[in-house]
Each structure stands twice: as C-alpha cells, then as structure tokens.
Structure 1
Amino acid sequence: MQRNKIHIVYGATASGKTDQAVRLALAAPDSVIINADSMQIYKEIPIITNQPTEEERKGLPHLLFGHRSITEHSDLTKWLHEVADTINEQTRLGKKIILVGGTGMYLKCLIEGVTTIPEIPREVREGIVAQILADGLPVVYDNLIKLDEQSQKLKPADTQRIIRAYEVVLHTGRSIFDWQKQPNKKFFEISDFVIHYLNISRQKTYEKINYRFLKMLEWGVAEEAGNAGNIFDKAVLSGKKLSDLPAHKAHGLRELIAYTKGEMSLEAAIQKAQQVTRNYAKRQLTWWRGWSLGLEKQLEIVEYEVLS
C-alpha cells in the first residue's frame, strides 16, 4: 500500500469487504479503518447492518462505526463532512487511511465532489410531497416547468427527480441544471484514491446473503430488531417521522420488526429480508459497472476475484 493514498475497499454486500480491509490494515502498520456504509453508523443495529465484530476488527482502530442513534437523521452531506474531517485528522496523525463500505453514492461524492447546491430545508420537500398527494404528479410537474423551463428535460413520471428539481428552484430561485453546471465542491483529488474492488458473481453474493441472514438469526438479530422497533415507536410518539429516520430503511430491519410485532411470520420475514438484500446487491453490482468505466484513467483500481 502507498503511504499517501486513501484506500477504499468496495464491493457488493456480503462480498467480504470487512475481511479485506482488515488484511490491508494488518499489512500496513499505523492504518485506521473508516466506515463508508450509510447504515453501519447506527449503534443499536450492529447485527442487521453487519458491522464488524470485535473479533473481526483484530484490535485495529475502526472509526465512524456505530456512533449514531437510529433516532438521528443522517444523510450524504453530514457523512461527507464527517468522513473528510476524520480522514484529515488521521492523516495529520500519520495514519494510513482505509475506507470500507458499500454505499456507492457516498464514495462517488467523496471522490468526485458534490454540487454546491445549498441545503434545502426538509419542510420544502415535505410541502412538495403533500402537493403531489393532493393534486397529482402531473400538476406538480406543470408547476415546475412554469418556474424552470429546463426541467422539461425530466421525464413526467420521474417522481424523485421532479421533487428534487422543484425543491431546488423553490428554495434557491435557480434551476438545478444551472447549479449542476457549477464546479463541484471537492474534498480531495481523484488521484488521492486507490479502490480495492471485490469482484463477486451475482449468484455467489446471493448465496452469501441468504446464508448470512440465517446466521444473523443465530446471533440475535430478531431481538435487535424488536428493540429497534420499540425505539422507533417511541420516536414517532415524540413527534418524529419514520421517513426522517434513515436507519428504518436498513435492509431486512422492517421485515424483522414486522415479525416481532406479529404482523409477519418468521419464514415470510426471512424470505422478504433476503430478497430485499439481494435486490440491493444487484443494484450495487450494476452501479459499479456503470461508474467504474471511466475511473481507471483517473485513479488506481485493484481488483480481487471473490471465489468463496
């Protein structure tokens, strides 16, 4: 490993990223492993999010794992600033940096930078969603076009992009397409990174996902989900919305919470949880193929074939 590089271990879920990150760290003294998974930040759900155990960590420093509550709202912007600060601090201390995680968009934005669109208050988006529910998407799309003619580029049925374009123009008075023409805010240079990609076949990752979920049940994931469900219920009673708590979307968690509440059989919960996780892995594999096409000319990619 090169001393001055930021090393990223990336691959689909269940591909063996934790083990690979630890192997790299053991081979390079003074390494720290930093989390780059959007769900492994939550302390109450370490099993369902597959956070590295103490045994798996091999005594190595692991940062930004399990340091937030599932009742907190976290997002890309918060993570980017937190991880950039952590990388800079650890670099000043002379540490070698290893990032590990499967949240591709987080890593993409860390490497390439992000647009300088100001943060949009949550109330703006909530108002747009309420308008869609009341008047329908076509009406909202027409209203968007009146404010931002460039948004005619969007497909009339593309709900998420319409909401995003609408909230940007409402809050900033400028088209999202104008914002996107501005130079990205960069945290690091692309050449600062080396990506260690775990190449695993779709069939193999599906098999590992199914097996891992059954092992999670042995490790107590149902009890973990029941506790998380109780915490979410209390948060809702205190006035919070589940839609504002990203941890609620952890793959397999909602199915297990439904099981603990008697709303779903264990067999159905297992099958559904395995399915949603396999679907996620499929998206990860597809995303990597698209994103990595032009990367090799800009940074080093080390590929590992995962056979077992």
Structure 2
Amino acid sequence: MTKVLISIVGPTAIGKTSLSIALANYFKTEIVSSDSRQFFKEMQIGTAAPTQEELNAAPHHFIHHKSIVDDYNVGTFEKEAIEKLEKLFEKHHIVIMVGGSGLYVDAITKGLDDFPKVDSNIRQKLKTQYDNEGLKPLQEQLEHLDLETYKTIALDNPHRVMRALEICIGTQQPYSSYLNKKKNKRPFKTLTIGLNADRETIYKRINERVDIMMEQSLLEEAKNLYKFKHLNSLNTVGYKELFNYFNGEWTLEFAVSEIKKNSRRFAKRQLTWFKKNEDTIWFDYQAPINTIIEAVNSKIKTL
C-alpha cells in the first residue's frame, strides 16, 4: 500500500493544528511538525505551539525538542525528519505533517536545493554592512538582484537575506534560479492540503491571536528570553518587537501593534510561498472536517 504524507499548510492562525489532530485521529496516525519556531522548548506562547491538551490528543514529533541555544537548521531538520518518517511509515500508511514554515515543508516534500559554493568573504562583507547600516540596505539590494526571492523570503530575517545575497553576488545569478532544480526521491507520496480564508478574516484571526498571547503572558515569556535576543531563533515575530519595548525604544502598545502588523506580513509571505505549489488542494478554514476527509480519501486512491 502506498505510503502517504499529508502535509497541511496555510497562513498563521488559520487552524492548521486543529485540522492536523482531526486527521491524525481519523487515520489513527501521528503528526510531524514542520514549524521551525515550535521546535524550541523555551518559545511556547509566542509561537502558538500546540497546548498540552492538543499534544495529548495525538502523538506529535518535533515540538519543543530543541533549545534556543542549540545549533539547529533546516538541513539538520531534513535529515532527522526523514529518519523519523521512515520509522513512522513502518507502522502507519499515512502520516500527517503540519507547519507554516515553507522552507522546512519543502525540505521534507522536495529536498533541499543545491547551491554553488561562493567566496566566504562575501558573507563577511554583508555581515559588516548589516552591522553598520542595518537590514534595509540589504533588503533593497536583494530586491534589485532577485525580485522573486525578495517577494517570498522572510525579509525581516537577516540570515535569510544575507544567504540569498551571497548567492546572487557570488554566482552572478539570482538565488531563485537555483531553487527546485532537482527533486529528491522520497519513499512516500505527498498530498498537500491548504487552509485559507479571505484577507480580512486572516488578519482578524491574527490580531485576536496576538491579544490572546498577551493574555497568556507572552510579555513574561519574552522577558525571560531577553538575554538571548542575539540568537537567530529569537529573531522572530512576537519576541523581537517586545525586545524593542524592553530596550525602551517602543511603548508596549506600539510593540503589540507591530507584532500584529508583522504577523500579517508573514501570513502574506506564507501564502505567496504555498500558492507556488499547484498540486495543493485548498479548503476554506471553516470547511467541515468530513468534507476534507472525503476529498483526502478520494485523492489518496489516485496516488
């Protein structure tokens, strides 16, 4: 029988966790997370990680299994997740994967892209420029050299921006030109399900989620992590804005409004990324679970 990975994608706050649990229970299987920030055990409230009740509702993997001080990247995740999936497929015909981190989703479903090696001095010069001038000049340079990447990557993540730029500069070719050149063979088929809503609804749900996070003591969680603000794992929406509040640069009210604004921008980038996969079956976020299950069962028969 064909082994099938059901990958659930969509913008933040759309209901992916609830759907993943419902499908895991229906298919009597387990869930692998591909959310790159929910890996870290110190970041629970600000990443909207599954609650203990949700974790108890179905077996989960790659949730809170790392610390923010660990050196963990998408390449390591790909290796560990594929190994975990191989074991899970020994006892399940279907496994669920859920997460809004497009690069991490693609690492499992497609494999990572190959990039040429470039002069390490390029990265050092970009790092110096970032330290001296900030992120905006680098963002503008990327927009000029590779508009496609500029529109899809996390522009507020300096590591991602510098990585794309060093490839553009070092190879004289757009970073995006190296994407999706080879497809890694996987010992399973992938069925991708997307949840979506109209923009107004997505934004409303995001704003409400941020308010709930603040009620759940996100401020206290961020305060406990403030001394680690230099770590890449904490260059994350929901934390970096509150760090500016702790620095005395912003009021708390403005910091919260910036969390909402940056979360909305992130959702827009997520949709841009996920819409590139033409095989994704999209559902309204309010679609009845039985409708989704019926469509999934029908599609699995054709894989």
What TM-score bracket applies, with the shorter chain setting the length? 0.7 to 0.9
Matched residue, 1:27: 26
Instruction: State whether residues 43 and 67 of structure 1, in contact with CA within 8 Å, keep that contact through their aligned partners in structure 2.
Output: yes
- 2:85 maps to which of 78, 87, 107: 87
Which of 50-59 and 219-228 deviates more?
A: 50-59
Aligned residues with identical type, % of pairs? 26
Matches within 5 A, 1:255-294: 255-289=241-275, 291-292=276-277
TM-score by length of 2: 0.75
Long gaps (5+) in structure 1: 135-152, 170-174, 233-241
- The CA distance in 2 between the partners of 1:37 and 1:49, in whole Å, is 9
Judging changes above 3 Å, is the alpha-carbon distance between structure 1 residues 121 and 99 closer, same or farther for their aligned structure 2 residues?
farther
Q: Does 1:305 align with 2:302?
A: no
Judging changes above 3 Å, is the alpha-carbon distance between structure 1 residues 166 and 133 closer, same or farther for their aligned structure 2 residues?
farther
Judging changes above 3 Å, is the alpha-carbon distance between structure 1 residues 3 and 58 closer, same or farther for their aligned structure 2 residues?
farther
Judging changes above 3 Å, is the alpha-carbon distance between structure 1 residues 246 and 119 closer, same or farther for their aligned structure 2 residues?
farther
Matched residue, 1:216: 213
Instruction: State whether residues 222 and 239 of structure 2, in contact with CA within 8 Å, keep that contact through their aligned partners in structure 1.
Output: yes
Shift of 1:67: 1.3
Shift of 1:211: 0.4
Deviation per CA, 1:175-225, whole angstroms, max 9, x where unpaired? 899x94996261516x70011110221111100110011111111111100
- 1:253 maps to which of 225, 228, 239: 239
Q: Which amino acid aligns with 1:304?
A: F
Shift of 1:125: 2.0
- 1:204 maps to which of 201, 206, 211: 201
**How many aligned residue pairs are there?**
264
Matched residue, 1:101: 99
Q: Which amino acid aligns with 2:260?
A: Q
**If you compute each CA radius of gyration, which structure gives the higher value, 1 or 2?**
1
Matched residue, 1:192: 189
Deviation per CA, 1:231-279, whole angstroms, max 9, x where unpaired? 34xxxxxxxxx3xx33122212111223244442211111011100011
- The CA distance in 1 between the partners of 2:118 and 2:4, in whole Å, is 33
Instruction: State whether residues 17 and 98 of structure 2, in contact with CA within 8 Å, keep that contact through their aligned partners in structure 1.
Output: yes
Matched residue, 1:68: 66
Which of 120-129 and 64-73 deviates more?
A: 120-129
Q: Which amino acid aligns with 1:115?
A: D
Matched residue, 1:38: 36
Judging changes above 3 Å, is the alpha-carbon distance between structure 1 residues 183 and 9 closer, same or farther for their aligned structure 2 residues?
closer
- The CA distance in 2 between the partners of 1:133 and 1:230, in whole Å, is 19
Root-mean-square deviation (Å): 3.4
TM-score by length of 1: 0.74
SS of the aligned residue for 1:65 comes to coil
Long gaps (5+) in structure 2: 133-144, 151-160, 288-303
SS of the aligned residue for 2:100 comes to coil
Matched residue, 2:7: 8
- 2:110 maps to which of 103, 109, 112: 112
SS of the aligned residue for 1:286 comes to helix
Instruction: State whether residues 84 and 187 of structure 1, in contact with CA within 8 Å, keep that contact through their aligned partners in structure 2.
Output: no
SS of the aligned residue for 2:192 comes to strand
Q: Does 1:53 align with 2:44?
A: no
Matched residue, 1:144: none
- The CA distance in 2 between the partners of 1:284 and 1:252, in whole Å, is 16
Shift of 1:17: 0.3
Instruction: State whether residues 6 and 95 of structure 2, in contact with CA within 8 Å, keep that contact through their aligned partners in structure 1.
Output: yes
Matched residue, 1:226: 223
Judging changes above 3 Å, is the alpha-carbon distance between structure 1 residues 154 and 202 closer, same or farther for their aligned structure 2 residues?
closer
Instruction: State whether residues 118 and 166 of structure 2, in contact with CA within 8 Å, keep that contact through their aligned partners in structure 1.
Output: no
Instruction: State whether residues 9 and 17 of structure 1, in contact with CA within 8 Å, keep that contact through their aligned partners in structure 2.
Output: yes
